[in-house]
Structure 1
Amino acid sequence: MDNKKNPWPVLSFFFICLSLNNHLSLGADTISANQSLSGDQTIVSKGGNFELGFFKPGNSSRSNYYRGMRYMKVSLRTIVWVANRETPVSDKSSSVLRISDGNLVLFNESQITIWSTNLCSTSSGLLEAVFLDNGNLVLRDGSDNSSKLLWQSFDKPTHTWLPGAKMAYNNRTKQNVRLISWKNSEDPAPGLFALELQQNNSSYIILWNKSVPYWNSGPWDGNIFSWVPEMRVNYIYNFSYVSNENESYFTYSLYNPSNISRFVMDISG
Structure 2
Amino acid sequence: MEKMNIPWLILSLQIFIFFSLNRQLAFGADTVSANQSLSGTQTIVSSGGHFVLGFFKPGNSSNYYIGMWYGKVNQQTAVWVANREIPVHDIHSSELKVSNGNLVLFNESQVPIWSTNISSSSNSVVAVLEDGGNLVLKDGPKSSTPLWQSLHHPTHTWLPGGKLSLNRRTNQSQLLTSWKNSEDPAPGLFSLELDPNGTNQYFIQWNRSEQYWTSGAWDPQTRIFSLVPEMRLNEIYNYSYVSNENESYFTCFMILLL
Please give the alpha-carbon distance, in whole angstroms, between the structure 2 residues aligned to 1:47 and 1:236: 20
Matched, 1:184 2:158: no
**Following TM superposition, by how much is the alpha carbon of 1:42 offset from its aligned partner in structure 2, in angstroms?**
0.5
Please give the alpha-carbon distance, in whole angstroms, between the structure 2 residues aligned to 1:63 and 1:166: 32
Matched residue, 2:132 = 134
Please give the alpha-carbon distance, in whole angstroms, between the structure 1 residues aligned to 2:5 and 2:55: 35
Matched residue, 1:113 = 112
Matched residue, 1:148 = 145
Partner deviation per Cα, 1:95-123 (whole Å, 9 max, x = no partner): 0101112211000100011111112x223
Counterpart of 2:164, as a letter, is M
**Following TM superposition, by how much is the alpha carbon of 1:15 offset from its aligned partner in structure 2, in angstroms?**
5.4
**Number of equivalenced pairs:** 249
Match among 163, 166, 184 for residue 160 of structure 2 = 163
Higher relative contact order (CA 8 A, sep 6+): 1
**Following TM superposition, by how much is the alpha carbon of 1:257 offset from its aligned partner in structure 2, in angstroms?**
6.3
TM-score by length of 1: 0.86
Task: Please say which of residues 166-175 and 83-92 is displaced more in the overlay.
Answer: 166-175
Name the % identity: 61
Q: Would the alpha carbon gap of residues 18 and 92 (structure 1) be closer, same or farther in structure 2, given more than 3 Å must change?
A: same
Counterpart of 1:70, as a letter, is W
TM-score by length of 2: 0.90
Q: Would the alpha carbon gap of residues 257 and 52 (structure 1) be closer, same or farther in structure 2, given more than 3 Å must change?
A: farther
SS of residue paired to 2:231: helix
Q: Would the alpha carbon gap of residues 17 and 32 (structure 1) be closer, same or farther in structure 2, given more than 3 Å must change?
A: closer
Counterpart mapping for 1:35-114 below 5 A: 35-58=36-59, 60=60, 62-114=61-113
Match among 208, 211, 228 for residue 210 of structure 1 = 208
Q: Structure 1: which 5+ runs fail to align?
A: 259-269
**Following TM superposition, by how much is the alpha carbon of 1:77 offset from its aligned partner in structure 2, in angstroms?**
1.1
Matched residue, 2:251 = 251
Matched residue, 2:237 = 237
Q: Structure 2: which 5+ runs fail to align?
A: none
